[in-house]
Amino acid sequence: MTDIGSDPILLADGLVKDFPGVRALNGATLRMSPGSVHALLGENGAGKSTLIKILTGLYQPDAGNLVVGGQPITLHSANDAAAAGIAVVHQERNLVPEFSVAENITLNRIPVRGVLVDRAEMRARARRCLDLLDLDLDLDAPVNRLSVAQAQLVEIARALSSENRVLLLDEPTSALTLQESDRLFELVRRLRDQGTAILLVSHKLEEVFAVCDTVTVLRDGVSVLEAAPLAEHSRDEVVTLMVGRSHQAASFEPHVVERDGPAALELDKVSTASGHRDISLDVRRGEIVGLYGLVGAGRTELAKALLGLDRVVSGEVRVHGQRARVRDVREALNRYRIGYVPENRKEEGLFLDQPLTMNIAVTVWNRIQRAFGYVPRARERKLVQEYTESLGIRASGPDQHAGLLSGGNQQKVSLAKWLAAKTEILIIDEPTVGIDVRAKSAFHQLIWQLAADGLAILLITSDLPEMVTLAERIVVMRDFQIAGSVPNDHDYERTSTAVIRLIHGSGSSNRKPYER
Amino acid sequence: MKALSSGRSEARTSLLRFFRSTEMTLLVVGAAGFAILVAGSHGSLLHGDAVRGILSYLTVPILIGLAQLVVLAVGQMNLSVGPLGGFLAVLIAALMADHGVPVLLAVVIALTLGTLIGAANGLLVVTTRINGFIVTLATMTILGGLQYRVVGTRTIDPGSGILKTFGTMSLLNVPVIFLIALAAAGLLAFFLRRVVTGRRLLASGGNPLAARLSGISNDRAIVVAHALSGLIIGVAAVLTVASAPGVNKSIGGDWLLPSFAAPIIGGAALTGGSVSVLGAVLAAFVIRLVDVARAQYSLDPSWVNFTVGAVVLGTVVITRIRETRQAKATRRRVDLGRTGITGDSSTAGSAS
């Protein structure tokens, strides 16, 4: 490490953070100087969010040091971080929807007089914060009446409400228009000139290059570029650093994709009630098509629309060439043979307190029932036996509760019910989040085998190496639209660079409703 | 790769699981409690009359426990069990005594009406999206009013018809009405374990999100559960009329606590998806013993409610502690299991 410029206001050195099966940070370093805007860049899963959560006291690092203003410090909670002068605007909304603008802005330091809330002081403080942003909002309006952009600005105003030395902005412009973004960055520059150190996490390289002075690039939990002056690097250099050459995409035997006849699943200019516009894509039998995009790009929402959980307002969905109007999941499953392995297996994929028999047979009760809806126990157990064997699920028996399995085995169970139901089109959403490396590669092999067996697979993942390993084509979504499509030649560097370029394409975001 | 262990060790595991289960605890507590009471009564508790009495008064607690259990299975509550049962009971009695309606017709009317009112509870919950607690709190009050409207301040004695004979019949000192309650429990257990609709109730209660993504209608599950609850309350009302000397406005007034006590002590999770019919029946028996003890030792009646309330609270606390411990143990086991997985992931992949 070389010392450049003034003493750092914040120094994170050699941070290590382990999660079950995954090392999110592996010696990451971050050095922020007062009076400068610092960019933190990296792919999905590079460790940016984990780093931010450590800096704000939400996670404790397993190793490494944190120094703020020359003092070594340990942050046990968000309050500790606030006390140390670190403020944050998280990517997710952290507002109380029913509370007023003024209440939300002063939420972490409510002014009191005796035991009562000092409303006059509260409004005065909130007004000062809004004035900094040149915002003219009704202080008494409940936050749930605001647009997404306004709510975002309230959140930023809140981060300004205390005397902070360090301000962390995690994707602050994802819901803002260009004008609103410009106003925000004007303020960022002003704060910088007053001596605040600002960290900007953004996927939009234009704004990074327009606003930031220095940059740190994270890859696989390590800082591959550390506190470097941004002026000395081109956009292409930065993208190359983010992608890296370290990934060796696993290769599988290529399998046959059925090119003749209609696609198994075809979307023709589909627009949905939740905001997708003119989505067109197709998946053929034996093909794995990847759907890549940032969090909030509308990928999972698109999957849910295909299951009939959201309304298709225009355009056409075709299954094996026939127009499909899916009204509910039951119809998606029984009539169109579409299955969906959800991204949160524990919340949406499994019955944790129920035996494997229920978890796997739930989609086929219709088919295996006898008179009066009687489901023979032996039939359920045989089904479990079949899939625990073919998928290699390690369980003590068919009566074991799904909650007692490891992550990799849980994911296989979550998949098994769709295989049992003989689905022909499978949408797999973030299949390997929180699964350790070995189980992950076994799962990749499994997905590949399913495609080889003739399933049409739409793979949603934020894990770019996984995408390059599995998908034949990568469709990139941005702001509920298709940004483009990249053929995968299994050369990691070339393919992922093309994908990252599409993601980072310029243009302002369209507004989305606050509650979706 | 051996994914499943052999049948024998599996049988041993499930036996082991039973010995550690709530049902086993209740069985031991029930048997021990009963033995102590028998010893205290110098054996008179084993006489035919006494046994008939105990079992006869166990009928309604079992049924109302089942009525609550079936809505707990989908993560709902039914506060209207008491007034619904009371209303149906006085309705049957009034139909027969005041209007000369034949027994069978009165029974059919009660069961149908019970099911319909239960279904109405469920429909109100799913159409208004108002919490089931509030909905059934409202219908509880409405049904209480209807009950008073039908019976007023009188006590109706439906006379000495077939129903009365039926209510006092017994086989080898076991009252027939008690056998009906047991049969209802058996049917409900079978329904939840082995019939598609019942399985869907448990799936929906266990994880509504996963159930929805598996093609199950959570709304339908809620309506079916409430309707079944109403049907079981209808059975409880019929058996009450059959066995009680007369019915009045107080019938059902003291059903609320026992209806929750039996399934909860029996191991049901209030969050839904996890219920035990056997546990609920055993718990009803244990609660009944508290009443027997009160009669035997002429204790103050207030002690019964105190004890039952304390047992419910104690059970909930103990269950919570056990769950926390289990979760910890699971985390340890999964961590150990992870090393196992990495050991043969190649086999796992090629097996597919």
Distance in angstroms (rounded) separating the CA atoms of residues B84 and B141: 10
The pLDDT, as a whole number, for residue A392 is 85
Is A467 strand, coil or helix?
helix
Q: Is the pLDDT of residue A180 over 80?
A: no
State both tokens at B253.
């007034």
> Does any CB of chain B come closer than 8 Å to the CB of residue A19?
no
The stretches of A160-262 forming alpha helices (DSSP H) are: 178-193, 205-211, 235-243
Nearest by CB to residue A365, choosing from B4, B196, B350, is B196
Query: Inter-axis angle of helices B277-296 and B256-265, to 10 degrees?
Result: 120
Largest CA-CA distance found in chain B, in angstroms, rounded: 78
| Average pLDDT along chain B, 352 residues, taken 10 residues at a time | 51 70 83 87 82 90 96 94 94 89 91 96 93 92 92 82 82 90 96 93 92 92 96 95 87 90 87 90 90 83 81 77 69 47 34 32
Residue A37: its pLDDT value, please? 94
Give B334's contacts in chain A (Cβ within 8 Å): 404-406
What are the pLDDT digits (tens) for A246-256? 455 566 777 77
Q: In A, which residues are within 8 Å of B338 by CB distance?
A: 20-21, 406, 436
- Residue B104 exposed, middle or buried by CB count within 10 Å (0-12, 13-18, 19+): exposed
Percentage of residues of chain A with pLDDT beyond 70:
93
For residue B349, give the nearest of A350, A396, A446 by CB distance: A446
Would B78 be classed as within a structural domain? Answer: yes
Instruction: Check residue B63 and give its pLDDT.
Output: 96
- Give residue B277's domain range: 21-334
User: Cβ of A397 and B352 within 8 Å?
Assistant: no
Q: Which of A300, A330, A351 to mutate to test the interface with B (most CBs of B within 10 A)?
A: A351
- Closest partner residue to A375 (CB to CB) among B194, B209, B347 is B194
Q: How far apart are CA A134 and CA A140, in angstroms?
A: 17
Q: Do B4 and A398 touch (CB under 8 A)?
A: yes
| Cα dist from A417 to A13, A111, A362, A406, whole Å | 46, 54, 7, 17
Q: Are the Cβ atoms of A354 and B203 closer than 8 angstroms? A: yes
Locate the chain B residue with the closest alpha carbon to A403: B330
Distance CA A254, CA B48 (A): 78
Cβ of B3 and A394 within 8 Å?
Answer: yes
**Which residue spans of chain A are classified as CATH 3.40.50.300?**
10-243, 263-337+425-506
Count interface pairs A-B at CB distance under 8 A: 153
> Whole-angstrom Cα distance, residue B229 to residue A210?
65
CA distance B337 to chain A (A): 7
Query: Could you tell me the pLDDT band of residue A509, with boundaries at 50, 70 and 90?
Result: very low
Per-residue confidence (pLDDT) for residue B8, from 0 to 100:
61
Compute φ and ψ for B292, nearest 5 degrees.
Answer: -60, -45
A309 touching B (Cβ < 8 Å)? yes
Q: Which residues of B263-297 are buried (b: 16+ CB within 10 A; e: fewer)?
A: bbbbbbbeebbbbbbbbbbbbbbbbbbbbbbbeee
A293, amino acid identity: G
Across the interface, of B210, B215, B342, the residue whose CB is closest to A333 is B215
Q: Any idea which fold A10-243 has?
A: Rossmann fold (3.40.50)
Cβ atoms of A40 and A63 within 8 Å: the answer is no
> pLDDT tens across A323-370, in order?
999 999 999 998 999 999 998 888 889 998 899 999 999 999 988 888
First to last CA, chain B: 11
Q: State ipTM.
A: 0.78
Q: Would you tell me the crossing angle of helices B176-194 and B277-296 to the nearest 10 degrees? A: 150
Chain A residue at shortest CA distance from B191: A374
User: How many domains, chain B?
Assistant: 1
Rounded to whole angstroms, what are the CA distances from B290 to A14, A29, B39, B286, B302? 64, 66, 15, 7, 11
| C-alpha to C-alpha distance for B231 and A453, rounded to whole angstroms | 49
Burial of A224 (0-12, 13-18, 19+ CB in 10 A): middle
Cβ atoms within 10 Å of A387's Cβ, excluding its own: 22
Contact check, Cβ <8 Å, A445/B349:
yes
DSSP A414-425: HHHHHHHTT-SE
3-state secondary structure (DSSP) of residue A204: coil
C-alpha angle A196-A199-A202 in degrees, rounded to nearest 5: 145
Look at residue B347 in the predicted model and tell me its pLDDT: 33
Q: What is the pLDDT of residues A225-262, one digit of tens each?
A: 988 898 898 888 888 888 775 455 566 777 777 778 88
User: Residue A329 is nearest to which of B3, B213, B334, comparing CB atoms?
Assistant: B213
Residue with tokens 């292409």: A236
A403 contact B CB<8A: yes
Q: Closest by alpha carbon to B275, among B213, B185, B182?
A: B185
Which residue from B195, B334, B348 is facing A373, i.e. has the nearest CB?
Answer: B195
Searching chain B, which residue's CA lies closest to the CA of residue A372?
Answer: B195
For residue A118 the two structure tokens come to: 């000092």
Domain A263-337+425-506, CATH? 3.40.50.300
Q: What is the dihedral of CA A191, A193, A194, A199, to 10 degrees?
A: 50
The pLDDT of residue B7: 55
Question: What does residue A326 show for φ and ψ, rounded to 5 degrees?
Answer: -90, 120
* CA angle (A420, A426, A432) in 5-degree steps: 95
Question: Does B124 map to a domain?
Answer: yes
Residue whose entry in the numeric block shows the structure tokens 């992949």: B349
Q: pLDDT tens digit string along A414-430?
A: 999 999 999 999 999 98
Edge to edge, what strands does the sheet with A222-229 contain?
Answer: A86-89, A166-170, A197-201, A36-41, A214-219, A222-229
If DSSP states are collapsed to H, E and C, what string results for chain B?
CCCCCCHHHHHHHHHHHHHCCHHHHHHHHHHHHHHHHHHHCCCHHHCHHHHHHHHHCCHHHHHHHHHHHHHHCCCCCCCCHHHHHHHHHHHHHHHHHHHCCCHHHHHHHHHHHHHHHHHHHHHHHHHHCCCHHHHHHHHHHHHHHHHHHHHCCCCECCCCCHHHHHHHCEECCEEHHHHHHHHHHHHHHHHHHHEHHHHHHHHHHHCHHHHHHCCCCHHHHHHHHHHHHHHHHHHHHHHHHHHCCCECCCCCCCCHHHHHHHHHHCCCCCCCCCCCHHHHHHHHHHHHHHHHHHHHCCCCCHHHHHHHHHHHHHHHHHHHHHHHHHHHHHHHHHHHHHHHHHHCHHHHHHCC
Picking from A366, A369, A390, the nearest residue to B352 by CB comes out as A390
- The answer as to whether B15 is a domain residue is no
Which residues in chain B have Cβ-Cβ distances shorter than 8 Å to A406?
A: 334, 337-338, 341
CATH number at residue B64: 1.10.3470
Q: What pLDDT sits at residue A213?
A: 94
How far does chain A reach from its first CA to its final CA, in angstroms?
45
Report helix, strand and coil shares of chain A as percent, to nearest 5.
35, 25, 40
What type of residue is A48? K
- Residue B334 and residue A417: Cβ atoms within 8 Å? no
* Contact flag B3-A442 (C-beta cutoff 8 Å): no
Q: For residue A409, what are its two tokens?
A: 């085995």
State whether A351 and B215 contact (CB < 8 Å).
no
Nearest Cβ partner for B337 among A333, A351, A394: A394
Does the beta-carbon distance from A392 to B274 stay under 8 Å?
no
Q: Report the distance separating Cα A298 and Cα A291, nearest Å.
A: 10
User: Is the separation of the CB atoms in B223 and B126 below 8 Å?
Assistant: yes
Other beta carbons within 10 Å of A10: 24
Q: How far apart are CA B63 and CA B177, in angstroms?
A: 11
- Picking from B195, B330, B352, the nearest residue to A372 by CB comes out as B195
DSSP A275: S
Angstrom distance (rounded) from CA B118 to CA B229? 6
Q: Which chain A residues contact residue B215 at CB under 8 A? A: 328-330, 332-334, 363
User: Which two three-digit tokens encode residue A201?
Assistant: 């996490």
Distance between CA atoms of residues A102 and A124, nearest Å: 9
Find the helix or strand (DSSP H, E) in which A168 lies. strand A166-170
pTM of this structure: 0.76
What span, in angstroms and rounded, lies between the C-alpha atoms of A143 and A95?
7
Give the minimum alpha-carbon distance from A250 to chain B in angstroms, rounded to a whole number: 14
**Pairwise CB contact (< 8 Å): B341 & A439:** yes
| CA separation for the pair A284, A186 (Å, rounded) | 48
**Inter-helix orientation angle B277-296/B22-40, to 10°:** 20
Instruction: Report which secondary-structure segment, H or E, holds A279.
Output: strand A279-283
CB < 8 Å to B200, chain A = 365
- Cα distance between residue A349 and residue A414, in whole Å: 5
How many angstroms separate the CA atoms of A395 and A401, rounded? Answer: 9
Among the partner residues A353, A372, A389, nearest to B274 by beta-carbon distance: A353
CB B67 within 8 A of CB B78: yes
Contact with chain B for residue A353, Cβ under 8 A: yes
Whether B168 and B239 have beta carbons less than 8 Å apart is answered as: no
- B contacts of A403 (beta carbons < 8 Å): 330
| DSSP-derived pairing of the beta strands A322-323 and A312-319 | antiparallel
> A334 — contact with chain B (CB < 8 Å)?
yes
Residue type at position B254: D
Alpha carbon B210 to chain centroid distance? 26
**How is residue A8 annotated by DSSP?**
P
- Chain A residues closer than 8 Å to B195 by CB: 372-375
Helix (H) / strand (E) containing A89: strand A86-89
What would you report as the CA-atom Rg of chain A, rounded to the nearest whole angstrom?
25
φ and ψ of A505, to 5 deg: -50, 150
Cβ contact, residue pair A396, B5, below 8 Å: yes
d(CA A67, CA A98): 37
CA distance A450 to chain B (A): 9
